[in-house]
């Protein structure tokens, strides 16, 4: 077997033009295949990572409608206390999300998303400069803003933001002034979204207490010894009317519904790509074998066994695919980074969300698929070699 390998290696090294074309072709196809595998679960993995980074593993909503599209939770403060009292629950955080307008100085007002949360609980955003909301009120109401808003409205830590909200009564409410205490990254912000976070009580005040004590959802962190599923089950038992979902269930649901589009596209493209890879290798090897029928027949006449010459073709296929497949990895990574940048500019896509995410499983599957392609692609040329009639081929070669 090692001689067959050596022979195949020499065949590749000493026919550089043919080998280079084959390897480059496989590399291009391999890069696309690799990217499709990264895409097939990229959104799910990225979504999971964003959810986990918030530090909360269970979500409680009024219905199964996505946050912001369904009814709000009422009596949110009492509900949060009730949830926090459940033994499996460590923390419950109220969260309210409203559209509002913000103005800094004489700049014109801009549309923002106002996130109201309990400042005593761990926030879901990540402060990158300044500080987080104070746990207890200390003078003027405080907010943290995202980087996009800070850059767009030219505000920084210490700036004053005047915020107004359009309330249900359509009454024009006076603007409230907030001090920017920090700049933060918000996990689900898109690149062009302007987000401000303040205390949930301040969110209530923006409408003059018109619809107080409401929340879009409750973020719950389960106790480590209990786990998310036990916490969710306990919450469902205590509040059967509410929609309770763990991060894992949410990911599974998104994977099945919202993200299935990408999974299907990547599956179709990966299959097509793999088929082209198979065709490329098969054609390359078949042409190569057909060009060398005389040599192969001569080798058989000299005494090389059928297994030996067949193994040579298989090794050649494996080597071509291994070299092309390895070269495909850096190409695939570069291509995926480029495509990811393009896709992330789609409106409404969280800036921290990625479409192409590496996981060892994708690499394993990639190796497996390429290995299968190299074996299947080698099957036909191997058969040509295996059933080659030695005498007839030698005769034909001499006559031709």
Partner 1 sequence: MTPAIVEARRVSRVFPMAAAPVTALNDVSLRVDRGEYIGVVGPSGCGKSTLLHVLGCVDVATSGQVLFQDREVGSLTDAERSRLRLREIGFVFQRFFLLPMLTAWENVELPQAEAGASRGERRTRTAELLEYVGLAQRAGHRPSELSGGEMQRVAIARALANRPGLLLADEPTGELDQATGEQIVQLLDRLHADGTAVVVVTHDPAVAARAHRLLRMRDGRIVDESRQ
What residues make contact with partner 1 under the rule CB under 8 A? 3, 10-11, 13-15, 294-295, 297-308, 390-392, 394-395, 397-398
* Residue placing its CB nearer to partner 1 in the complex, 301 or 334: 301
| Whole-number Cα distances in Å, 204 to 140, 214, 273 | 16, 8, 54
* Residue placing its CB nearer to partner 1 in the complex, 13 or 85: 13
At its nearest, how many Å lie between partner 1 and the CB of residue 314?
17
At its nearest, how many Å lie between partner 1 and the CB of residue 370?
25
List 101's β-bridge partners, or say none.
Answer: 111, 164
* Residue placing its CB nearer to partner 1 in the complex, 10 or 85: 10
Q: Which of 275, 318, 308 is nearest to 388 (CA)?
A: 308
* Residue placing its CB nearer to partner 1 in the complex, 61 or 284: 284
* Residue placing its CB nearer to partner 1 in the complex, 30 or 312: 312
At its nearest, how many Å lie between partner 1 and the CB of residue 374?
20
| Cα–Cα distance measured from residue 117 to residue 115, given in angstroms and rounded to the nearest whole number | 6
| Cα–Cα distance measured from residue 146 to residue 142, given in angstroms and rounded to the nearest whole number | 14
* Residue placing its CB nearer to partner 1 in the complex, 3 or 154: 3
Q: Which of 58, 45, 49 is nearest to 84 (CA)?
A: 58
Q: Which of 238, 240, 234, 129 is nearest to 185 (CA)?
A: 129
At its nearest, how many Å lie between partner 1 and the CB of residue 277?
25
At its nearest, how many Å lie between partner 1 and the CB of residue 327?
22
Question: Would the CA dihedral through 197, 198, 204, 206 be positive or negative?
Answer: negative
- Helix, strand, coil abundance in the chain, percent, nearest 5: 50, 20, 30
At its nearest, how many Å lie between partner 1 and the CB of residue 269?
36
Q: Which of 192, 5, 6 is nearest to 112 (CA)?
A: 192
* Residue placing its CB nearer to partner 1 in the complex, 165 or 300: 300
- DSSP tag of 75: S
The answer to whether residues 70 and 296 touch, using CB atoms and an 8 Å cutoff, is no
Task: Determine how β-strand 214-215 pairs with β-strand 73-74.
Answer: antiparallel
The secondary structure element, H or E, covering residue 266 is helix 260-291
């Amino acid at each position: 077997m090692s001689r067959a390998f050596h022979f195949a290696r020499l065949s590749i090294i000493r026919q550089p033009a043919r080998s280079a074309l084959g390897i480059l072709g496989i590399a291009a196809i391999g890069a696309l295949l690799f990217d499709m595998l990264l895409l097939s679960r990229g959104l799910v993995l990225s979504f999971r990572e964003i959810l986990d980074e918030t530090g909360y593993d269970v979500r409680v909503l009024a219905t199964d409608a996505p946050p912001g599209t369904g009814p709000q939770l009422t009596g949110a403060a009492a509900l949060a206390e009730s949830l926090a009292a459940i033994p499996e629950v460590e923390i419950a955080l109220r969260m309210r999300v409203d559209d509002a307008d913000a103005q800094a100085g004489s700049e014109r007002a801009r549309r923002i998303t106002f996130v109201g949360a309990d400042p005593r609980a761990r926030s879901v955003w990540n402060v990158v400069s300044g500080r987080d909301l104070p746990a207890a009120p200390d003078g003027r109401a405080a907010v943290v803003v995202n980087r996009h808003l800070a850059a767009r409205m030219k505000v920084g830590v210490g700036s004053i933001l005047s915020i107004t909200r359009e309330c249900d009564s359509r009454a024009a409410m006076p603007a409230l002034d907030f001090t920017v205490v920090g700049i933060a990254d918000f996990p689900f912000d898109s690149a062009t979204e302007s987000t401000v976070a303040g205390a949930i009580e301040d969110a209530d005040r923006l409408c003059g207490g018109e619809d107080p004590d409401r929340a879009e959802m409750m973020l719950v962190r389960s106790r480590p010894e209990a786990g998310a599923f036990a916490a969710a089950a306990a919450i469902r038992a205590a509040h059967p009317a509410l929609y309770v979902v763990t991060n894992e269930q949410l990911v599974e649901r998104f994977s099945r519904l919202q993200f299935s589009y990408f999974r299907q596209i990547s599956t179709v493209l990966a299959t097509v790509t793999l088929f082209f890879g198979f065709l490329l290798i098969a054609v390359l090897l078949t042409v190569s074998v057909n060009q060398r029928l005389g040599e192969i027949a001569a080798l058989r006449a000299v005494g090389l066994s059928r297994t030996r010459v067949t193994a040579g073709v298989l090794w050649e296929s494996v080597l071509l695919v291994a070299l092309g497949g390895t070269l495909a990895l850096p190409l695939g990574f570069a291509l995926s980074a480029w495509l990811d940048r393009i896709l992330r500019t789609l409106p409404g896509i969280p800036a921290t969300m990625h479409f192409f995410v590496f996981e060892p499983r994708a690499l394993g599957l990639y190796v497996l698929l390429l290995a299968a392609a190299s074996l299947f692609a080698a099957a036909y040329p191997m058969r040509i070699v295996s059933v080659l009639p030695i005498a007839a081929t030698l005769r034909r070669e001499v006559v031709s």
